[in-house]
Structure 1
Amino acid sequence: MTNKPLIMIVDDESANCKLLVKALASQYETITLHSGKECLDYLTHDQPEIILLDVMMPGLNGHEVCSQIKKNEATKNISVVFISALDTLDDRLNGYNAGGDDYLGKSVDLSTLLNKIQLILNNKKENQKLAEDVEEMQSGFMTALNMGAETDQVTNFIEQCLVAKNYDQLLNAFFESMQGFNLKTVAQIRSKDEVLTINSSWKSLPLEQELMLKAQFDGRILEFDQRMFINYESFSLLVKNSPIEDPDLVGRLRDHLAVIANACDFRIKAIGTEINLQSHLEIASFFKKTTQSIEKINKGLDADNKKAISISHSLGQRIEEKLIFLGLEEDQEKILMEIIDTSTNDLSLLMEKQSEIKDTLGDIVQQMNQTLGKI
């Protein structure tokens, strides 16, 4: 098994094939075929990096072969270099119109051919790296966008939680938030007078109530496959469909749900008991924990923003440095730049949205402080 790039030589003249094989053998793996049909048949089960293709051949000529290669989704990225005795300007234009990547006369110096091949291989590597960078940048954008939407859910819930006047209003806000996370959940409220266990279908099942009553003493956060328990003194939640196939999302949900459960615990105590000095201290502790949790979420957002900006900036520099060497057509350059411009605009809009979220969180903290001052 060799790690050398595979070069296919297609020429009906055996002497030409032997000459090219001899020139390429030290650096590349080669295969020689003698007709366009043989070439197309071979490509159905294997692909070379580059095809050195004669133009004048019996049956399918080189232009027809190249056109079929470039029209096929499975083979369109194979580089085709015409090597032909037909070397006029019209001949070259016909070769490029057929989809060829380069066009050389048969009298070309072999060292020039080797340089051309190496340049094409280098450009293919650069294009692949560029595609990977674009994919990574888009993935970073999507993660940041998702985190922004998740933070919105937490923010909206806390706003509703603070003004909930009874358990029904609190549970309505809770299940609305869980629906935004696409989670099937069970909520349990434990007050001095009652234990209320309700699932997202607004049903109370004895088995779920018993399970959550037992789990409340087994730790703050418990996870069993797709099930996640988060326990506070007066409130517990059970997630029944945790997205365990996405560990990063599970990690973010764990943080978000802990904030939400903590807020529920605080509001249940405020609804169910007269707020005294001890309650005042508990509220202050809740404010601190909530602020810390929100700061943790914001730090994660900031880190992803910096990463996305870094990737975008690096990609822009790479494109400016490499664009001239990639040999792209004008319309290809335009499409690539439009992709980058669109992604950059998306990033700017995302950062504006996150700035609004941070302002909203600041208003929430201010509202909490005002509420605390009235106690």
Structure 2
Amino acid sequence: MSDSASYKFTLATNNEEIENFCKDHLSEHQLVIYSTLTEIADNTIIDNPSCVIIDTTEFDDAGLETCKKLKEDEDTFKIPVVILTDADTIEDRLDCYLCGCDDVISTPFEGDEFKARVQVAAKNKQIIDDVQADANEIWETALEAMSTAGELGGLLVAIEKCILCNSYDELSNEIFAACEAYELNVSFQIRSTKGLFFYGNNLTPEKENMENELLSRAKDKSRFFDFGARTIVNFESISLLIKNMPLDDMEKYGRIKDNIAPFLSSADSRIRAIALQMEVEKQRSVLERLISDTQSAVEYIEKQYSEHKEQSGELLERLIQEMDAGFISLNLSEAEECHFRNLLENSKTQIMELYEGGLEIDNSFEKIMFKIRRTLKNGIS
């Protein structure tokens, strides 16, 4: 059997002939020899050999107990154990297998067969180790994929919450929550037409001023501005200072940068939207005050119209009565009296019509203001 791989073997024997036999036939491999069973048992974890060879021709049952001990230890049970024995009965060989050994080679030992069988045992361990390594890699990849998927799901939720914020304080809480998911210690600066706002946790006034000044100076730097374990992420309306980037985990370091950028982009858009919303609310308030003032003015005018209408009607009525009384002393003909009376009645009618027209204008104002109030109540888009 040809096997070009190089393996590491450990041998427990105090038989010089067997020691030399193993050296001769395993010369292309690494061979560590112990003269006692205690030594090989104590050093197997450290040596981590491809195969353990125990010579029981000298150690008898103690060699089988050592094999059993290695196979019961969770740190060494995967390492193949080959027993060299001078026992020639099936019962003796079964005792070896019952102790957990992987193979039993009986005397007289034939060199090529011995070499082939211990190499097979070593190769099987190598195959198992490779399969385990592949399985571990697949598992780590799966965990990473699940972690990434979980982070992306969390990112989408964070973006959704961010979009629903109606104030900078609400938005700041969502930013802190999103960063806490990555175990990040952050502070940030929000810039808008409404002013400059700084948010940080558990900072002294001196440190707060220092970090705020740092963010102001770095806001025109690149999107990611790295210095040591700190990173500043810049957008038009927000700059975020990360104070504990994981330099010892570059994979996580990269994920943080990949995920924090789209989240802050949504926060940046929301900051401008909140500023616009605040401006609209301000204009709404001004308009509502204007409507209220106009309403008061219209009500005052309406009241004045009514009072003037009533007073004018009373004055004209008295004038007509006085002129009726005066017609007698003027010796006017009936036709002349009728003519003057018609003039006064027509004047009264025209004056009343003017007042009625003013009231119609007032009603038109009322309808316009009602529509404006309803629009404000339903919201201005």
TM-score normalized with structure 1 length: 0.65
CA deviations on 1:140-166 (whole Å, 9 max, x unpaired) are 012112212211221111111221111
CA deviations on 1:324-353 (whole Å, 9 max, x unpaired) are xxxxxxxxxxxxxxxxxxxxxxxxxxxxxx
The residue number in structure 2 matching 1:148 is 149
Shift of 1:11: 4.3
> Radius of gyration: which is bigger?
2
- For the residue of structure 2 that corresponds to 1:92, the secondary structure is helix
Counterpart of 1:173 in structure 2: which amino acid?
A: E
Indicate how the Cα distance of structure 1 residues 229 and 32 shifts in structure 2: closer, same or farther if over 3 A, else same.
closer
The residue number in structure 2 matching 1:5 is 7
Indicate how the Cα distance of structure 1 residues 51 and 272 shifts in structure 2: closer, same or farther if over 3 A, else same.
closer
The residue number in structure 2 matching 1:234 is 237
The residue number in structure 2 matching 1:273 is 276
Shift of 1:230: 1.2
Q: Distance in 1 between matches of 2:260 and 2:45?
A: 52
Q: Distance in 2 between matches of 1:165 and 1:99?
A: 70
Q: Is 2:229 the counterpart of 1:212?
A: no
The residue number in structure 1 matching 2:193 is 192
On the 8 A contact 1:36/1:59 being kept in 2, the answer is no
Q: Distance in 1 between matches of 2:110 and 2:97?
A: 21
Higher relative contact order (CA 8 A, sep 6+): 1
Q: Distance in 1 between matches of 2:60 and 2:252?
A: 57
Q: Distance in 2 between matches of 1:19 and 1:97?
A: 26
On the 8 A contact 2:57/2:84 being kept in 1, the answer is no
The residue number in structure 1 matching 2:250 is 247
Q: Distance in 1 between matches of 2:32 and 2:203?
A: 69
Q: Distance in 1 between matches of 2:186 and 2:168?
A: 16
CA deviations on 1:158-206 (whole Å, 9 max, x unpaired) are 1112211111111121111111121111121111231100114488722
Indicate how the Cα distance of structure 1 residues 201 and 40 shifts in structure 2: closer, same or farther if over 3 A, else same.
closer
On the 8 A contact 2:233/2:239 being kept in 1, the answer is yes
- For the residue of structure 2 that corresponds to 1:273, the secondary structure is helix
Shift of 1:81: 1.0
- For the residue of structure 2 that corresponds to 1:245, the secondary structure is coil
On the 8 A contact 1:186/1:199 being kept in 2, the answer is yes
Unaligned runs of 5+ in 1: 277-373
Counterpart of 1:164 in structure 2: which amino acid?
A: C
- For the residue of structure 2 that corresponds to 1:182, the secondary structure is coil
- For the residue of structure 2 that corresponds to 1:57, the secondary structure is helix
Q: How many positions carry a matched residue from both structures?
A: 275
Q: Distance in 2 between matches of 1:14 and 1:261?
A: 74
Correspondence 1:1-375 to 2 at 5 A = 4-22=6-24, 24-30=25-31, 35-37=36-38, 39-40=40-41, 43=44, 46=47, 48-57=49-58, 61-72=62-73, 75-201=76-202, 205-273=208-276
On the 8 A contact 2:78/2:125 being kept in 1, the answer is no
Q: Distance in 2 between matches of 1:45 and 1:159?
A: 53
The residue number in structure 2 matching 1:344 is none
Q: Distance in 1 between matches of 2:133 and 2:49?
A: 21
CA deviations on 1:260-307 (whole Å, 9 max, x unpaired) are 11111111111112699xxxxxxxxxxxxxxxxxxxxxxxxxxxxxxx
On the 8 A contact 2:10/2:51 being kept in 1, the answer is yes
Indicate how the Cα distance of structure 1 residues 238 and 56 shifts in structure 2: closer, same or farther if over 3 A, else same.
same
The residue number in structure 2 matching 1:279 is none
Q: Distance in 2 between matches of 1:158 and 1:38?
A: 62
Indicate how the Cα distance of structure 1 residues 275 and 240 shifts in structure 2: closer, same or farther if over 3 A, else same.
same
CA deviations on 1:70-107 (whole Å, 9 max, x unpaired) are 34555544422112121333222211221211012213
On the 8 A contact 2:79/2:125 being kept in 1, the answer is no
Counterpart of 1:70 in structure 2: which amino acid?
A: K
CA deviations on 1:2-36 (whole Å, 9 max, x unpaired) are x95344444454444444443x1543344555553
Q: Distance in 2 between matches of 1:37 and 1:127?
A: 27
On the 8 A contact 1:221/1:228 being kept in 2, the answer is yes
CA deviations on 1:37-89 (whole Å, 9 max, x unpaired) are 56446658756533332324358632122223334555544422112121333
Counterpart of 2:138 in structure 1: which amino acid?
A: M
The sequence identity of aligned pairs, in percent, is: 25
